[in-house]
Protein backbone atom coordinates (compact mmCIF):
# COMPACT_ATOMS: atom_id res chain seq x y z
CA UNK A 1 0.00 0.00 0.00
CA UNK A 2 2.79 2.33 -0.85
CA UNK A 3 3.26 4.96 -3.46
CA UNK A 4 6.19 7.20 -4.15
CA UNK A 5 4.93 9.95 -6.38
CA UNK A 6 6.71 13.27 -6.38
CA UNK A 7 5.34 15.62 -8.96
CA UNK A 8 5.74 19.34 -9.21
CA UNK A 9 2.55 21.40 -9.02
CA UNK A 10 2.86 22.36 -12.67
CA UNK A 11 3.16 18.74 -13.73
CA UNK A 12 0.12 17.77 -11.64
CA UNK A 13 -1.90 20.46 -13.39
CA UNK A 14 -0.54 19.30 -16.74
CA UNK A 15 -1.42 15.69 -15.93
CA UNK A 16 -4.94 16.59 -14.92
CA UNK A 17 -5.54 18.55 -18.13
CA UNK A 18 -3.80 16.17 -20.48
CA UNK A 19 -4.83 12.97 -18.76
CA UNK A 20 -7.31 11.90 -21.34
CA UNK A 21 -5.11 13.03 -24.23
CA UNK A 22 -2.23 10.81 -23.20
CA UNK A 23 -3.63 7.77 -24.95
CA UNK A 24 -3.62 9.40 -28.36
CA UNK A 25 0.16 9.21 -28.28
CA UNK A 26 0.29 5.64 -26.98
CA UNK A 27 0.24 2.62 -29.19
CA UNK A 28 -1.52 -0.44 -27.86
CA UNK A 29 0.11 -3.77 -28.59
CA UNK A 30 -3.28 -5.38 -28.62
CA UNK A 31 -6.64 -3.75 -29.05
CA UNK A 32 -8.28 -6.82 -27.61
CA UNK A 33 -7.93 -6.40 -23.88
CA UNK A 34 -10.20 -9.29 -23.09
CA UNK A 35 -7.46 -11.04 -21.16
CA UNK A 36 -5.16 -9.58 -18.53
CA UNK A 37 -2.04 -11.03 -20.16
CA UNK A 38 -2.55 -8.95 -23.28
CA UNK A 39 -2.73 -5.66 -21.39
CA UNK A 40 0.20 -3.53 -22.42
CA UNK A 41 1.07 -0.26 -24.08
CA UNK A 42 4.00 1.53 -25.62
CA UNK A 43 5.15 4.95 -24.48
CA UNK A 44 7.97 6.98 -25.91
CA UNK A 45 11.01 5.08 -24.60
CA UNK A 46 9.06 2.61 -22.44
CA UNK A 47 6.94 -0.51 -22.64
CA UNK A 48 4.29 -0.99 -19.97
CA UNK A 49 3.39 -4.67 -19.74
CA UNK A 50 2.14 -7.39 -17.44
CA UNK A 51 4.78 -8.59 -14.96
CA UNK A 52 6.19 -12.09 -15.46
CA UNK A 53 8.13 -14.38 -13.13
CA UNK A 54 11.47 -13.22 -14.54
CA UNK A 55 10.71 -9.64 -13.42
CA UNK A 56 10.70 -10.53 -9.72
CA UNK A 57 14.37 -9.70 -9.15
CA UNK A 58 13.92 -6.23 -10.64
CA UNK A 59 10.62 -5.70 -8.78
CA UNK A 60 12.32 -6.69 -5.54
CA UNK A 61 14.99 -4.01 -6.08
CA UNK A 62 12.33 -1.41 -6.76
CA UNK A 63 10.34 -2.46 -3.66
CA UNK A 64 13.47 -1.68 -1.63
CA UNK A 65 13.85 1.68 -3.40
CA UNK A 66 10.22 2.52 -2.56
CA UNK A 67 10.79 1.61 1.11
CA UNK A 68 13.86 3.88 1.12
CA UNK A 69 11.73 6.63 -0.44
CA UNK A 70 9.17 6.23 2.37
CA UNK A 71 12.02 6.36 4.92
CA UNK A 72 11.31 2.75 6.02
CA UNK A 73 14.39 0.98 4.59
CA UNK A 74 14.16 -2.00 6.97
CA UNK A 75 10.53 -2.74 6.18
CA UNK A 76 10.91 -5.15 3.19
CA UNK A 77 11.32 -8.68 4.53
CA UNK A 78 10.73 -10.88 1.49
CA UNK A 79 13.16 -11.78 -1.28
CA UNK A 80 12.78 -12.17 -5.04
CA UNK A 81 12.19 -15.92 -4.68
CA UNK A 82 9.19 -15.35 -2.41
CA UNK A 83 7.80 -12.89 -4.97
CA UNK A 84 8.17 -15.59 -7.65
CA UNK A 85 6.43 -18.25 -5.59
CA UNK A 86 3.65 -15.97 -4.32
CA UNK A 87 2.89 -14.35 -7.67
CA UNK A 88 3.54 -17.11 -10.15
CA UNK A 89 3.22 -20.32 -8.18
CA UNK A 90 0.42 -22.76 -7.41
CA UNK A 91 -1.80 -19.94 -6.19
CA UNK A 92 -1.24 -16.38 -7.28
CA UNK A 93 -1.58 -13.80 -4.49
CA UNK A 94 -0.92 -10.74 -6.63
CA UNK A 95 -0.55 -9.50 -10.20
CA UNK A 96 1.54 -6.67 -11.54
CA UNK A 97 2.56 -4.38 -14.37
CA UNK A 98 6.10 -3.23 -15.05
CA UNK A 99 7.56 -0.32 -16.98
CA UNK A 100 10.53 -1.37 -19.09
CA UNK A 101 13.00 1.22 -20.35
CA UNK A 102 13.94 0.72 -24.01
CA UNK A 103 17.22 2.58 -23.55
CA UNK A 104 18.58 0.33 -20.80
CA UNK A 105 16.42 -2.77 -21.29
CA UNK A 106 15.58 -2.53 -17.61
CA UNK A 107 12.46 -2.55 -15.41
CA UNK A 108 12.23 0.96 -13.94
CA UNK A 109 8.78 0.92 -12.38
CA UNK A 110 6.07 -1.44 -11.18
CA UNK A 111 2.50 -1.58 -9.94
CA UNK A 112 1.30 -4.53 -7.82
CA UNK A 113 -2.39 -5.27 -7.32
CA UNK A 114 -4.84 -8.01 -6.38
CA UNK A 115 -8.55 -8.64 -6.48
CA UNK A 116 -10.65 -8.14 -3.37
CA UNK A 117 -14.33 -8.19 -2.49
CA UNK A 118 -16.88 -5.72 -1.20
CA UNK A 119 -19.95 -7.29 0.39
CA UNK A 120 -21.80 -4.15 -0.71
CA UNK A 121 -20.69 -3.80 -4.31
CA UNK A 122 -18.90 -7.00 -5.26
CA UNK A 123 -15.61 -7.59 -7.01
CA UNK A 124 -13.00 -4.92 -6.43
CA UNK A 125 -9.30 -4.33 -7.06
CA UNK A 126 -6.71 -3.15 -4.56
CA UNK A 127 -3.55 -1.48 -5.76
CA UNK A 128 -0.86 -2.37 -3.22
CA UNK A 129 2.14 -0.49 -4.60
CA UNK A 130 3.17 1.76 -7.41
CA UNK A 131 6.73 3.03 -7.85
CA UNK A 132 8.76 4.60 -10.63
CA UNK A 133 12.44 5.46 -10.41
CA UNK A 134 12.95 9.23 -10.03
CA UNK A 135 14.92 9.53 -13.27
CA UNK A 136 12.07 7.87 -15.21
CA UNK A 137 9.22 9.97 -13.85
CA UNK A 138 7.38 12.62 -15.80
CA UNK A 139 6.99 10.22 -18.71
CA UNK A 140 3.32 9.28 -18.20
CA UNK A 141 4.26 5.93 -16.63
CA UNK A 142 2.20 6.48 -13.45
CA UNK A 143 -0.96 7.34 -15.34
CA UNK A 144 -0.28 4.42 -17.70
CA UNK A 145 -0.14 2.06 -14.72
CA UNK A 146 -3.46 3.41 -13.48
CA UNK A 147 -4.87 3.02 -16.98
CA UNK A 148 -3.87 -0.64 -17.33
CA UNK A 149 -4.84 -1.51 -13.74
CA UNK A 150 -8.24 0.04 -14.43
CA UNK A 151 -8.58 -2.09 -17.56
CA UNK A 152 -7.70 -5.17 -15.50
CA UNK A 153 -10.41 -4.09 -13.04
CA UNK A 154 -13.01 -3.77 -15.79
CA UNK A 155 -12.14 -7.18 -17.28
CA UNK A 156 -13.26 -8.66 -13.96
CA UNK A 157 -16.20 -6.21 -13.77
CA UNK A 158 -14.90 -4.59 -10.60
CA UNK A 159 -16.84 -1.72 -9.07
CA UNK A 160 -14.08 -0.33 -6.85
CA UNK A 161 -10.35 0.40 -7.07
CA UNK A 162 -8.95 0.84 -3.56
CA UNK A 163 -5.54 1.72 -2.15
CA UNK A 164 -3.95 3.35 0.90
CA UNK A 165 -1.76 6.43 1.00
CA UNK A 166 0.31 7.80 3.85
CA UNK A 167 -1.09 11.05 5.19
CA UNK A 168 2.37 12.60 4.79
CA UNK A 169 2.49 11.75 1.07
CA UNK A 170 0.65 14.89 -0.01
CA UNK A 171 1.79 14.80 -3.69
CA UNK A 172 0.44 11.27 -4.15
CA UNK A 173 -2.83 12.06 -2.36
CA UNK A 174 -3.34 15.16 -4.53
CA UNK A 175 -2.60 13.22 -7.72
CA UNK A 176 -5.03 10.45 -6.80
CA UNK A 177 -7.72 12.92 -5.85
CA UNK A 178 -7.26 14.63 -9.21
CA UNK A 179 -7.97 11.23 -10.79
CA UNK A 180 -11.25 11.02 -8.87
CA UNK A 181 -10.18 9.04 -5.80
CA UNK A 182 -11.85 9.83 -2.48
CA UNK A 183 -10.13 9.73 0.93
CA UNK A 184 -12.54 7.49 2.86
CA UNK A 185 -10.64 7.96 6.10
CA UNK A 186 -11.45 11.67 6.02
CA UNK A 187 -14.86 11.34 4.39
CA UNK A 188 -16.39 8.40 6.29
CA UNK A 189 -14.03 7.74 9.19
CA UNK A 190 -12.60 4.38 8.08
CA UNK A 191 -9.40 3.39 9.89
CA UNK A 192 -7.02 0.68 8.74
CA UNK A 193 -6.27 -1.96 11.37
CA UNK A 194 -3.72 -4.74 11.48
CA UNK A 195 -3.01 -7.80 13.58
CA UNK A 196 0.61 -8.92 13.05
CA UNK A 197 1.81 -12.53 12.78
CA UNK A 198 2.25 -13.09 16.52
CA UNK A 199 -1.26 -11.85 17.14
CA UNK A 200 -2.64 -14.16 14.44
CA UNK A 201 -0.88 -17.12 16.07
CA UNK A 202 -2.37 -16.22 19.46
CA UNK A 203 -5.84 -15.88 18.01
CA UNK A 204 -5.59 -19.23 16.26
CA UNK A 205 -4.98 -21.11 19.53
CA UNK A 206 -7.94 -22.98 21.05
CA UNK A 207 -7.11 -21.41 24.43
CA UNK A 208 -8.08 -17.96 23.17
CA UNK A 209 -11.74 -18.83 23.57
CA UNK A 210 -11.48 -19.52 27.29
CA UNK A 211 -9.29 -16.43 27.74
CA UNK A 212 -12.00 -14.12 26.46
CA UNK A 213 -15.04 -16.27 27.15
CA UNK A 214 -18.27 -14.42 27.94
CA UNK A 215 -16.76 -11.03 27.14
CA UNK A 216 -17.29 -11.11 23.40
Partner 1 sequence: MDHDKYAIRKAIKEDCESIQRLIQELADYEKMPNGPQLDPKTLEQDGFGTRPFFEAFVAEEKESNQIVGFALYFFTYSTWQGKSLYMEDIYVQLQHRRKGVGLSLFRSVSQAALSENCVRLNFSVLNWNSPSIEFYKSLGASDLTEKEGWHCFRMNRTEIEQLAHHNA
Binding mask 4-43 for partner 1 (x = CB under 8 A): ---------------xx--xx-------------------
* Given 15, 109, 129, 132, the residue binding partner 1 (CB under 8 A): 129
Region of 9-17, 47-55, 101-109, 163-171 interacting with partner 1 (CB under 8 A):
163-171
3-state secondary structure of 128: strand
CA angle 158, 163, 169 (to 5 degrees): 150
136: left (phi over 0), alpha (psi -120 to 50) or beta: alpha
Can you say how many angstroms the Cα of residue 1 is from the centroid of all Cα atoms in its chain? 7
Binding mask 44-63 for partner 1 (x = CB under 8 A): ---------------x---x
Q: Report the largest interatomic distance among the alpha carbons of the chain, rounded to a whole angstrom.
A: 65
Cβ atoms of 109 and 98 closer than 8 Å: yes
Region of 4-12, 99-107, 134-142, 153-161 interacting with partner 1 (CB under 8 A):
153-161
Q: Between 103 and 197, name the residue whose CB sits nearer to partner 1.
A: 197
Helix (H) or strand (E) holding 149: helix 141-155
Task: Report the site for partner 1 in 81-120 (rule: CB under 8 A).
Answer: 82-83, 86-87, 93-94, 112, 114-120
Amino acid sequence: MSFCVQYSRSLRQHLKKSFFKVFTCCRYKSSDCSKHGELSLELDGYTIRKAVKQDCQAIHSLIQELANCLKMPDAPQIDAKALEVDGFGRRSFYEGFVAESHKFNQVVGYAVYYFTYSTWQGKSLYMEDMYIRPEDRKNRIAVSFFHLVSQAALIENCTRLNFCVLESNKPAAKLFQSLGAVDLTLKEGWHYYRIPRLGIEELAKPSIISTFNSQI
